[in-house]
Amino acid sequence: MMEKPNDHNAKIYGLRLARRAFMKIHFRDGHPVLEIENQLIGTAITKLVNSIDPSSIKKTASKIRSIATDHILSSDEDEYIRRIALQSVLYMTDDEIIPRMN
């Protein structure tokens, strides 16, 4: 069965959030690798916002958080690193996960 565009976009964005959570642990702000990931996240956010109904933001943010946490928990990183990455995703508000686009 083929994913709906908003499900696919939520999955891509959730995986990117997990990647960035790990990268923030390993790289300082401004590091080129982290900057590229931030740009990719910006693109993912734009695609996501354009594919969801504004009334489903809370539900979509929860889905994205779940995708990111599942990816973090299943990673090969040390438990301590996974815990830090997990906290960074779990403490994000819905507005931080899906910022309002004007």
What per-residue confidence (pLDDT) applies to 50?
Answer: 87
Position 101 pLDDT exceeds 70: no
| Identity of the amino acid at 80 | Y
What per-residue confidence (pLDDT) applies to 100?
Answer: 78
| Identity of the amino acid at 89 | V
Q: How many CB atoms lie within 10 A of CB 100?
A: 8
| Identity of the amino acid at 91 | Y
* Span 53-81, average pLDDT: 95
Q: Map residue 77 onto helix, strand or coil.
A: coil
Give the Å distances, CA to CA, from 61 to 9, 27, 41, 80: 12, 26, 14, 25
Position 1 pLDDT exceeds 70: no
Q: Which residue range forms the structural domain that includes residue 32?
A: 5-97
The answer to the question of residue 49 being in a domain is: yes
The answer to the question of residue 102 being in a domain is: no
Q: What pTM was estimated for this model as a whole?
A: 0.89
Token pair for 44: 């993912």
Token pair for 31: 């590091």
- Domain tally, the chain: 1
* Span 34-45, average pLDDT: 94
The answer to the question of residue 69 being in a domain is: yes
